[in-house]
Amino acid sequence: MRFQIFKTFGFILFIFAIFHQCKVAKKTMDNTTNVNALLKPWEGQYGGVPPFDKVQLKDFKPALLAAMAEDSLEIQKIVEQKDPPSFENTIAALEKTGSSLNRVINVYSVWSGNMNSEEFQTIETEMQPKLAAFVDNIMQNEGLFKRIEAVYKSPKSSSIVKEQRRLLDKYYDDFVLNGAKLNSADKAKVAAINQKLASLFTKFSQNLLADENDKFLAISDSELAKMPEDLKEALLSAAKDKKLKGGILANTRSAIEPFLTFCPERGLREKAWRMFVNRGDNGDQNDNNAIIPQILALRAERAKLFGYPTHAHWKLSNKMAKTPDKAMDLLLAVWQPAVARVKEEVADMQAIANSEKLGIKIEPWDYRYYAEKVRKAKYDLDESQIKPYLDLEKMREGMFWMAGQLFDLKFDQINDVPKFHPDVRVWKVIKGSTGALVGLWYFDPYAREGKRSGAWMTAYREQSRINGDVKTLVSNNSNFLKGKPNEPVLISLDDANTLFHEFGHALHGLCSDVTYPKLSGTNVATDYVEFPSQILERWLLTPEILNKFAVHYQTKQPIPKELVQKIENASKFNQGFATVEYLASALIDMKLHLAGDKPINADQFEKEELTKLGMPDEIVMRHRTPQFAHIFADDGYSAGYYSYLWSDVHSADAFEAFTEAGGPYDKAVAKRLLDHVFSVGGTVEESEGYKAFRGKNPSIAALMKNRGFPYNGK
């Protein structure tokens, strides 16, 4: 039994039980199990696998209800036992409960993120408040908390092994943070807030998905004729998917960013940009502006009930940063150097625009397009030179090779497990030196209707040893645009970077070697969880990867050394843009949640606060407020988007350990990274684990150097 952030589903579920109507619910479970595939133990090799081939939407609701009922009986037994509370009969016992619910929730979350339809959304709308109530009923259960507290305060707790102590502390802290010590009236208020939030989160997500699925830009034949060939093919393919003639530009990041980079028609770029940045902000049935102030007000009210001045203070209390002030200090330390760099980048772009005598001023829809022109002018490098060497499948092979070199992992494709979509492929992962099974890696690379945009990792099952030797099942999901049949999918350097990033999350799960599921894999603080994925990005441009896997899709020749040198020379190019668009989102996130119970008009707040910060006119936030799913589709990254920068301080500093040792594949440093970061999950406090790897605390200096920003500190 564990508290887990379901990354695909995005909603924090602490997988516990309801303490009422147990007899009725048990009868429902017994009747449903006979016919509902979602409730049956996973069958097959590899410790069992999800029955994706047997999923029917009508099964989700009864399966969720029955699994919650089963969990309620398991929890009831822990609460009602006569033996005094101990680690084994309370904490370890909790870790052993909820197996049916975990299985159902994990499949449910796959459909939420990857196969979301109108029919599924009806189920989601109904079940989210029920799941929130389910969580609260257990978090507020006095009998259970008394047992946890008794173990926590017992003199014997000081003698338990370190991993057990870490687990005990996490249970106790999570219960206290979620209101276990509140009086009955305040507990009821928190429960009502959480159910309202669950409904609002669901509506926000569904509105965003609707704008991404339903809105698109039609491209005429005459306009298509002016496009670069690979962009033209992508637009034609998108139209074919929608069974429309001509070309179609989808309203997703994977479609929009290359369009803004390569489309020569400025008017089309502006239309595309406005379509994308106004997702959730069009004053129609999918508008999220009315939802945002409700979420913020409810969060502020809940934080006060918990005894914190704001939601930001509550959320950061158990993170590495600890306080909003420390997170803001980091964000603002990078903000001014990044803004200064943007001014330099815009000046370079404006000079090229002026030379074209078009009489234009660089606008946000021009930034990516003219940045490419600057890169060509300054470094004799453009994306069209690089993409022929970045075949998606070869990059995947490169990731596998890297995992073998660093962590002794070997990947073998298998075809004997069910998949939720024909695009999905699966690999068995073993230890190369012993042949021992590590787990399975699922890969779902392509965009489609009903799939949320972006890229992510999720765990269908987490590694643990408390209920036998359980092997993990992890997935990487992306939104690459499919090419023509039997032709390679060529990706950008940024896309390749994202591919390695998400694979880092997968390796964090696959390398896990712990006892308890609540401490397994990526179950670490949100401002540390991005560190293992960010450091893996840094192997993409190592000579070993480029020489072996960055080969021309036609000639099969490795990427030329001269081109590699150009890429290296341009490694700090456009860092102003990339940093500012991210920081703007992180700062607005924090400012929204530090505003407390102040009434918020999302659009107005965003505009006013960015003006105060001195946001460059040529850039918008990476995630504007009405589409900021990281913070409004669930509580997971709310007041926590700063985490990417906090983690990157660690990743930049950590990679220097390899540089200092002589190279990125140094075996001794790789072993330390495995032993103290990738394998330990949440069994050690994050800063302790990092220091065990690095020998010191991280410095911001490496991050600033990597981004090409001036820094005079240590």
Pairing of strands 437-446, 472-480: parallel
Q: What confidence score (pLDDT) does residue 485 get?
A: 83
- Residue 706 CB-half CA count within 13 A: 22
- pLDDT for position 230: 87
What digits encode the pLDDT tens for the residues 193-221?
Answer: 999 999 999 999 999 999 999 999 999 99
Between CA 349 and CA 361 the distance in angstroms is: 9
Domain positions in the chain: 4-181, 215-277
Q: Which whole-number Å values give the CA distances from 582 to 60, 326, 436, 579, in the listed order?
A: 37, 18, 41, 5
Looking at the predicted structure, is the pLDDT value of residue 120 above 90? yes
Cβ-based neighbours of 669, under 8 Å, separated by 6 or more: 657, 658, 661
- Reading the block at residue 317, the tokens are 């209390």
The label of the residue with tokens 């299985």 reads: 103
The angle that helices 493-510 and 392-407 make with each other, rounded to 10 degrees, is 40
Of 70, 502, 537, 618, which one is the catalytic site residue?
A: 502
Q: What is the mean pLDDT of residues 9-13?
A: 32
Instruction: Please report which confidence band the pLDDT of residue 712 belongs to, taking 50, 70 and 90 as the band edges.
Output: confident
Q: What is the pLDDT of residue 157?
A: 78
pLDDT computed for residue 518 by the predictor: 97
Query: Average of pLDDT values for 662-680?
Result: 97
Give the DSSP H/E element, type plus range, for residue 472.
strand 472-480
* pLDDT tens, position by position, 464-513: 999 999 999 999 999 998 878 888 999 999 999 999 999 999 999 999 99
Whether the predicted pLDDT of 33 surpasses 90 = no
CB-based contact 330:590 (threshold 8 Å) = no
Q: Is 214 exposed, middle or buried (0-12, 13-18, 19+ CB in 10 A)?
A: exposed
For 526-533, what is the mean pLDDT? Answer: 97
Does the structure show a pLDDT above 60 at 20? no
The pLDDT of residue 25 is above 50:
no
Of the ranges 46-55, 306-315, 472-481, 485-494, which one carries the lowest mean pLDDT score? 485-494
pLDDT score at 299: 98
Residue 8's pLDDT is what?
Answer: 32
pLDDT > 90? residue 10? no
Q: How far apart are CA 593 and CA 300, in angstroms?
A: 8
The closest of 277, 115, 272, 295 to 202, measured between CA atoms, is 295
| 182 has pLDDT over 60 | yes
DSSP 197-232: HHHHHHHHHHHHHHHHHH-EEEE-HHHHTTS-HHHH
User: Percentage of the chain surpassing pLDDT 70?
Assistant: 95
pLDDT band at residue 5 using 50, 70 and 90 as cut-offs = very low
Contact 400, 413 (CB under 8 A): no
Distance CA 388, CA 390 (A): 6
Residue range 123-135: mean pLDDT, rounded: 94
Per-residue pLDDT tens digits for 546-569: 999 999 999 999 999 999 999 999
Q: CATH for 4-181, among 3.50.30.10, 3.20.20.140, 3.30.160.270, 1.10.1370.40?
A: 1.10.1370.40
Q: What is the mean pLDDT of the chain?
A: 93
Q: How confident is the model at residue 34 (pLDDT cuts 50, 70, 90)?
A: low
Report yes or no: 142 and 150 within 8 Å, Cβ to Cβ.
no
Residue 35, pLDDT above cutoff 80 = no
| Residue 429 scores a pLDDT above 90 | yes
Q: Does 408 score more than 70 pLDDT?
A: yes
**What's the rounded mean pLDDT across residues 236-240?**
90
Q: How remote is the C-alpha of 73 from its chain's centroid?
A: 33
* Look-up of token digits 């309202």: 196
Consecutive H or E run containing 425:
strand 425-431
Side chain identity at 318, as an amino acid letter?
A: N
What confidence tens digit (pLDDT) does each residue in 587-597 have? 999 999 999 99
Taking 70 as the threshold, does the pLDDT of residue 639 lie above it? yes
pTM value? 0.93
- The residues, ordered by sequence, that sit 6+ positions from 576 with a Cβ below 8 Å of its Cβ are 338, 339, 340, 341, 342, 343, 344, 345
Mean pLDDT of 294-301: 98
> For position 4, what pLDDT does the model report?
36
- Give catalytic status of residue 502 as yes or no: yes
Where residue 101 falls among pLDDT bands split at 50, 70, 90?
very high
Taking 80 as the threshold, does the pLDDT of residue 28 lie above it? no
Mean pLDDT of 576-601: 97
